[in-house]
Amino acid sequence: MRLHFKFKGCAVFLRDSGFVQPSHLKNMSLNSYQNVDREELVKDLNEIHQEVLARVGEQDFKHLKKMERWGRLCSLLGYGTAWIFPNPISALLISQGSFTRWTQMTHPIVHKGYDKIANIPEKYTSRKFAQGWRRFKDWPDWITPAGWHQEHDVLHHYNLGEKLDPDHLQHNMEWLRQSKAPMGLRYVIVAVFTSVWKILYYTPRTHKELCISQARQQREILPEMTRSGAWSPYTKQGRALWLESILPYVGFRFILLPLLFLPLGTFAAGSVLITSILAEVLTNMHSFLVIVPNHAGDDVMMFEDKGKGRGEFFLRQILGSVNYPTGSDFNDFFYGWLNYQIEHHLWPDIPLNQYQFVQPKVVAVCKKHGIPYRQDSVFKRLKKAVDIMVGRTSMLKPVSEPTR
Tell me which residue of 64, 126, 61 sits closest to 100, measured CA to CA. Answer: 64
pLDDT of residue 325: 97
pLDDT of residue 32: 62
pLDDT of residue 6: 38
Is residue 68 very low, low, confident or very high in pLDDT (cuts 50, 70, 90)? very high
pLDDT of residue 20: 36
List pLDDT tens digits, range 10-61: 333 444 433 333 344 444 433 467 889 999 999 999 999 999 999 999 999 9
Inside any domain, residue 33? no
Q: Number of folded domains in the chain?
A: 1
- pLDDT over 70 for what percent of the chain? 90
pLDDT of residue 400: 52
Inside any domain, residue 134? yes
Q: CA 205 → CA 165, 216, 295, 377, distances in Å? A: 12, 17, 18, 28
Inside any domain, residue 13? no
- pLDDT over 90 for what percent of the chain? 79
Residue 306 has pLDDT above 90, yes or no: no
Q: Which domain holds residue 193?
A: 38-397
Inside any domain, residue 151? yes
In DSSP terms, which residues pair with 397 in a beta bridge? 14
List pLDDT tens digits, range 125-179: 999 999 998 998 999 999 999 999 999 999 999 999 998 999 999 999 999 999 9
Residue 9 has pLDDT above 50, yes or no: no
pLDDT of residue 19: 30
User: Residue 197 CA to chain centroid, in angstroms?
Assistant: 12
Inside any domain, residue 27? no
Q: CA 336 → CA 63, 65, 98, 283, 315, distances in Å? A: 13, 14, 11, 12, 24
Residue 402 has pLDDT above 60, yes or no: no
Dihedral sign from CA coordinates of 107, 113, 115, 118 = negative
Residue 193 has pLDDT above 70, yes or no: yes
Mean pLDDT of the chain: 90
pLDDT of residue 136: 87
Inside any domain, residue 221? yes
Inside any domain, residue 10? no
The residue among 32 and 110 whose pLDDT is bigger is 110
Inside any domain, residue 90? yes
Residue 225 has pLDDT above 90, yes or no: no
Round to whole Å and give the CA distance between 284 and 197: 6
Give the mean pLDDT of 216-226: 78
Give the mean pLDDT of 302-331: 94
Give the mean pLDDT of 338-361: 97
List pLDDT tens digits, range 370-385: 999 999 999 999 999 9
pLDDT of residue 4: 40
